[in-house]
Amino acid sequence: MPTLRFSVKPHPPAIFQAERDFPADFVWGAATSPPGAEGDTVSDWAALTAPDGSVPDDGPRHWRRYRYDFRVLRELSLHAYRFGCDWGRLQHQPYDALNRENLFRYLEMFAELRGHGIEPWLVLFDHALPRWVSGASGWLNPETPHWFADFARRLAYATDGEVRHWIPVSRPNHYAFASQAWDHYPKGSRGRLDRVETTIRRLHRGHELAVACIRDRVPGAKIGVEFTGVTPLARRVWHPGDWLGASWAGWLLQAYGRSAYFRGVGACDFAIHGIGNEKPVRIGDAVSLTGLVSPSLVASSDDSGGGRAASTRRRRLARLVRRSRVPVYFMGRGHGNGNAGGLDELLPALAGSGAAGFFYSPLFDQFDPYHGLSGGGGLLRVDFQRYDWRRDLRPFAQRLGAVAASGSLAPPEAIEENS
């Protein structure tokens, strides 16, 4: 296999570690999505075709190339990796034993990560369902939460303490709208708002049952939940309708049902909030009569917020952290397709927010149902035309690695001069 070609400047001398913008225990990581990254797709995503004509198997083949991808995490001084175990790859029918071959591959991934000093943060449902679940009405089926809990129990037992951070459900409201109101996932529907609420409730029930199973099998496990990174903003600050539409869309995508994840048996220990996708919208863009929230808010990853969005980001992030009862981690990529300018706007906001950590997403270019392979923005640029899916480190990744290594926003050149 070809080798990766990248280099990151070494850690600055310890004498300068006192001048930090981020605390020493700040978590720096990267993230991927199993159905968009792994390849050899066995989930219901196998039926998806993106607007650019690509399918999930055209993606970066992380399932085969994970060892090379993990080296990047180590060289960039990132010490956490948020990824998932594909439910459909591991369980082929209800209450079935986990597939041994695929389970051993995931266990090898955990061991490889720990060998590099990287902590795995494991997602159990990242918007891809086994075909047998999808064929049985997915999360609309009242049995699905129990099937999901059985999967979580078996996986928690098999990992035998190798995983300490668990995320049972990723972006529940986003998935409910995308699958039942916008028809963005296999066997979904359009404009079925009654199904949106049912899906949200079933996802939370599955989360509760899975949390009980994980805590029983892994004492001391840290369990969290993710919320979407789409932040609707009023395009015209003086227009009441734009403010109303942005507030309505933001509440439905982010706040509706969120408090349920922090009480009772399924109470979470941490929260991950997506950032970097501020969407200035007009009232007509934000509200859809058939979907309650326009799918265009999520389908586009372009941040056209300009200076106003950048100037208010620090205050919004800090306010979100202050209002939370649990540690808050952020996940995103600045804005647009990821670049040094986006990071230079985002990193200072993170430093002043009080957040517990940051996951850059995605680690490499991958498939997604909204853009296919054209979304880009990964720390690694993937050449999808080559037989070996060559990876090349993007220049702005060096900037992230330098900040993660030093904990300082000072340019690497300044640190070197001081040393």
Q: pLDDT tens, 168-205?
A: 999 999 999 989 988 888 888 887 888 999 999 999 99
What's the predicted TM-score (pTM) here?
0.89
> Which pLDDT score is estimated for 302?
43
Out of 143-147, 193-197, 232-236, 314-318, which region has the weakest mean confidence (pLDDT)?
Answer: 232-236
Average pLDDT over residues 92-114: 96
Residue 50 has pLDDT above 90, yes or no: no
The predicted-structure confidence for 202-238, as pLDDT tens digits, reads as follows 999 999 999 999 999 999 999 999 998 777 878 788 8
Average pLDDT over residues 139-155: 97
* Helix (H), strand (E), coil (C) string for the chain: CCCCCCCCCCCCCHHHCCCCCCCCCCEEEEECCHHHHCCCCCEHHHHCCCCCCCCHHHCCCHHHHHHHHHHHHHHCCCCEEEEECCHHHHCCCCCCCCCHHHHHHHHHHHHHHHHCCCEEEEEEECCCCEHHHHCCCHHHCCCHHHHHHHHHHHHHHHHCCCCCEEEEEECHHHHHHHHHCECCCCCCCECCHHHHHHHHHHHHHHHHHHHHHHHHHCCCCEEEEEECCEEEEECCCCCHHHHHHHHHHHHHHHHCCHHHHHCHHHCCCEEEEEECEEEEECHHHHCCCCCCCCCHHHHCCCCCCHHHHHHHHHHHHHHHHHHCCCCEEEEECCCCCCCHHHHHHHHHHHHCCCCCEEEECCCECCCECCCECCCCCCCEEECCCCCCCCEEECHHHHHHHHHHHHCCCCCHHHHHHHC
Q: Are strands 391-393 and 380-382 parallel, antiparallel or unpaired?
A: antiparallel
- Of residues 299 and 92, more confidence is placed in 92
Average pLDDT over residues 329-342: 69
The predicted-structure confidence for 373-408, as pLDDT tens digits, reads as follows 877 789 999 998 888 888 999 988 999 999 999 999
- Of residues 153 and 265, more confidence is placed in 153
> In which band, very low, low, confident or very high, does the pLDDT at 27 lie, cut at 50, 70 and 90?
very high
CA distance 50 to 299: 11
Q: To the nearest whole number, what is the mean pLDDT of the chain?
A: 85
